[in-house]
Amino acid sequence: MLQNLKELYGIKLTASDGEIGHVKDFYFDDKTWVIRYIVADTGTWLTGRLVLLSPHAFGRLDRDGNTLHVKLRRQQIQDSPSIETHQPVSRQYEVQYYNYYGWPAYWNGSSVWGLGDYPVVLPPSKDQMEAHLHRHHDDRHLQSAKAINGYAIQAVDGLIGHLTGLKMDDRSWAIRELIVEAGHWYSGKEILIAPSRVERLSYEESAIHVHLRKADIEGTADHELVKIDARTAHAAAED
């Protein structure tokens, strides 16, 4: 099912042997629009330290108890590679991180999670991991979901609103919809836009550019995912 990331900020994180903190942020891949990590604030347990948790480790999400269960021990998390010395997150850090936990690397393969569409635990290839360690030493591709909240949404013919949230599939952890609050031109309605319509993220402009015109959006109902056919998308891209 789809889950608004905003509803997960602040929820408790519990390892197999006790609490480990709460959800502070999410890091997503700005090319594939998939959540790769939760950024966990460990509070008084590991004072002043943030840790990354991959969906590979996620267990049951207890919505009633406002808790996400993590299939790791506290000591495992405590001994994991520290994120503070790898800001922003690089592929080099990720190789060390995945080697530490023994998970298959999502960048090895053509699917969302490398070997499939969902995060699963299978034996990793040491040769592949080491090869990527050198090839992607400076590959920085992960971004903060919290940091892009409020970004302007720029259509081909002007500003259409601002990003107010992201909805992701809680099985694959892929972002399925961008939640946009439209401006006065569209009566302040809420629009859902598929990531496939995103042309690029501009961190310098604090903007997300999309392959849409305002005319492509006008007339859609509240909370409807904006859909345009291939010809409309092609025409928008040529303007």
pLDDT at site 87: 64
- To the nearest whole percent, how much of the chain has pLDDT over 70? 77
E strands within the chain?
A: 2-4, 12-15, 18-29, 35-41, 50-53, 58-62, 67-70, 142-144, 152-155, 158-169, 175-182, 190-193, 198-202, 207-210, 225-226
Q: What is the pLDDT of residues 212-239, one digit of tens each?
A: 888 888 766 544 444 433 334 444 445 5
pTM of the model: 0.82
In percent, how much of the chain has pLDDT > 90?
51
pLDDT tens digit string along 58-110? 998 898 889 999 999 999 999 999 886 556 788 888 999 999 999 888 887 66
Predicted confidence at residue 109, as pLDDT, reads: 67
pLDDT mean across residues, the chain: 82
Determine the residue type at 162. Answer: H
pLDDT band at 113 (very low <50, low <70, confident <90, very high): confident
Average pLDDT of the segment spanning 190-202: 92
The answer to whether the 2-144 and 152-238 domains have the same CATH topology is yes
Band of residue 131 on the pLDDT scale cut at 50, 70, 90 = very low
| Residue ranges covered by each domain of the chain | 2-144, 152-238
CATH for the stretch 152-238: 2.30.30.240
**H or E element: which one contains 95?**
helix 91-101
Task: Report residue 83 as tokens.
Answer: 């994120």
- Tell which CATH architecture fits domain 2-144: Roll (2.30)
Assess whether pLDDT exceeds 50 at residue 21. yes
User: Using one digit for the tens of pLDDT, what is the confidence trace for 86-95?
Assistant: 567 888 889 9
Average pLDDT for 196-202: 93
pLDDT of residue 176: 93
Phi, psi of 99 (to 5 degrees): -65, -40
Q: So what's the pLDDT on residue 227? A: 43
Closest CA to 100 of 67, 74, 120, 129: 129
Of 101-105, 135-139, 184-188, 218-222, the range with the lowest mean pLDDT is 135-139
